[in-house]
Amino acid sequence: MIENKWLAKLSLKKMTILLVLTSAIVSLVASSLLNLYVLKREHNVVKEKLASIARMVAKDPRVINEVDNDSYSSAIQQFTLEVMESSGVSFVVVLNNDLIRKSHPDESVIGKPFSNIEDAKKSLNGTEHFSREEGVLGEGTRFFTPIWNKEGKQVGIVCVGFVQQTIYQELWKTQKNLYLGIGVGIFVGMLGAMYLAQQLKKMLLGLEPKQIVANIKERDIIIDSVGEGIIAVTPARKILLQNLNFTKLIKNARFTGDNMKDGYLDKDIFSTFFEEVFTTGKSISNHVIVVNQFEFIVNVQLIYIENRIYGAVATLRDQSEMQQLIRELSGTEQYIDSLRAQNHKFMNQLHTILGLTELGKYQDVVHYIRVLNTDYHREIGFVTDKIKSPAVAGFLIGKASELKEQGVKLIIDSDSLFPNMKMGEILHDLLLSMGILLDNAKEAMDLTVIKKATLFLYYDEEEEVILIEVKDTGIGVDEGTMERIFERGFSTKGRARGYGLDAIQSIVKQYHGIVDVQSELGNGSIFRIEVPYKRRNLDD
């Protein structure tokens, strides 16, 4: 993202020119550093060249013989001139140990002492050295190396050098090529950058950076808000983005009219999901919206560009998913309570048996176990005789024990009848519904003396309907409360309650059934559920 406001206002063409200028400056700085490296390298090359030529001349037999015999011959002068011409050095001077010239580009100084005696003396001890001094030909860089005869005795010195002007000329040749190459590179780079800018603008549909930033911001917010259904609009109802699932959810909610016409969102849909956000200027999170009895969980996030509201993006999720989660959590709680009650019951019975055993009352132990066995078979026998489904029978036996521990008597209506059949996912919902109704009945009887809940469970073969009825001897429900008992989150029992009956209503709607409530203050309540269900045989 471009954070600098001034830079964000530049057009793509101006940004390209700025980029080219920046690249040119970087290239010039880099070339300066490279030039310094080249100069240093060329100086080293010059020194190596002078040293190699001087050593070659010092080892030539003609030079050694003439200097060793301390005679003068034009052969040395001719040889050194040839070396100068072939190597390009400015001068090759041969000296004897008295530092008298045996050769020189200027023949008039041959036979005369070297111009800088102190400089030349440094090599009379058999060492080599470089120097930069003023000479007959002007200021120059030179190299001194000793001349050795066959006996290993130093007989003279060779001095080879470049006049400084010559060195500058050589360096300029190298620099000229370097600067020429950099200049050509910058020019070609500018042409390429301008061409690239034009092509980029075409590829970006003529959008400038400011517009691109706005589009990126929109896309980022939309992607970050991904949900089941996605719709993004402007305050003028213009659709920026929508996915297929949004269309599907709107269809399920049975909105009237076309949800999108000429690129604009339908007024009713816009009013339902976006009007509040654009009016208040505040986003909403996990807001429940009901349309034609179809519930949405909606999140709406405003889109800001340059501190102004540009639009909003909404994510929609089917409320049934949340309701399913609530039902599963409620069912788990029911199972835990049932297991806890069974655990308490069995622990009490075991403690009783253990106490009688420690007291040595073995006959009482036998009698107590027989009583438990008789009660157990009587309860199980009655339930299993009426309820043939093992899962349902097991649940009712456990629930009866749990309620008994809490002082509530559960009565299974003698007219109940439920066959053993394949039930699939509805079995979980059926057990959950009975558990919620029985728990509500227990809580409704907390303040009553008689605590009795009656359950009627029946499957009508002809009508193919499952019937569930729970009657309690509780305090009943008044008319005002009756109107809201199925409202999610509403409860007279405190906070974080009010989800049980909402879950039952959701289950009944899912299977296209009905739920009915009858209640009278002081005389208890009756909850009835009818759910259509086509029986499948176990062998199917």
Residue-wise DSSP of 27-90: HHHHHHHHHHHHHHHHHHHHHHHHHHHHHHHHT-HHHHHHHHHT---HHHHHHHHHHHHHH--S
414 and 288 in one domain? no
Domain membership flag for residue 149: yes
Q: How many domains does the chain have?
A: 3
Q: Is residue 130 part of a domain?
A: yes
| CATH code for the domain in which residue 228 is found | 3.30.450.20
Asked if 122 and 217 sit in the same domain, the reply is no
Tokens of 410: 């559960």
Residues 249 and 135 in one domain: no
483 and 409 in one domain?
A: yes
Residue 449 in any domain: the answer is yes
C-alpha–C-alpha distance, residues 189 and 105, integer Å: 49
Are 221 and 156 found together in one domain?
no
> Which DSSP string do the residues of 136-172 spell out, in sequence order?
TTEEEEEEEEEEE-TTS-EEEEEEEEEEHHHHHHHHH
Q: Are residues 522 and 404 in the same domain?
A: yes
Q: What CATH number should be reported for the domain holding residue 447?
A: 3.30.565.10
In a domain, 174, yes or no: no
Q: Does 386 share its domain with 518?
A: yes
Q: Is residue 200 a part of any domain in this protein? A: no
Integer Cα distance of 284 and 486 in angstroms:
25
Residue 126 located in a structural domain: yes
In order along its 540 residues, the chain shows pLDDT tens digits of 344 555 555 666 666 767 677 777 776 776 666 666 666 777 787 788 889 999 999 898 888 888 888 777 778 888 888 888 888 888 889 888 888 888 888 888 888 888 888 888 888 888 999 887 765 556 678 899 999 988 889 989 999 988 766 656 665 666 677 677 777 777 777 777 777 767 776 766 666 666 666 776 776 666 555 557 888 899 998 988 877 777 777 777 777 656 667 788 888 888 888 888 888 888 888 777 767 656 778 889 898 988 888 999 888 887 665 555 554 555 455 555 555 655 666 677 777 777 778 777 778 777 777 776 666 655 566 677 788 888 788 788 778 878 887 888 888 888 888 888 776 667 778 888 888 888 888 888 888 888 889 999 999 888 889 999 999 988 888 877 777 777 766 666 655 456 678 778 888 888 889 999 888 888 888 999 999 988 766 544
Tell whether 524 and 446 lie within a shared domain: yes
Same domain, yes or no: 392 and 507: yes
- Supply the range of the domain harboring residue 87: 15-169
Q: Are residues 217 and 274 in the same domain?
A: yes
Residue 471 resides in a domain: yes
216, 154: one domain: no
Same domain? For 164 and 248 the reply is no
Q: Which of 319, 337, 362 is the last residue of a domain?
A: 319
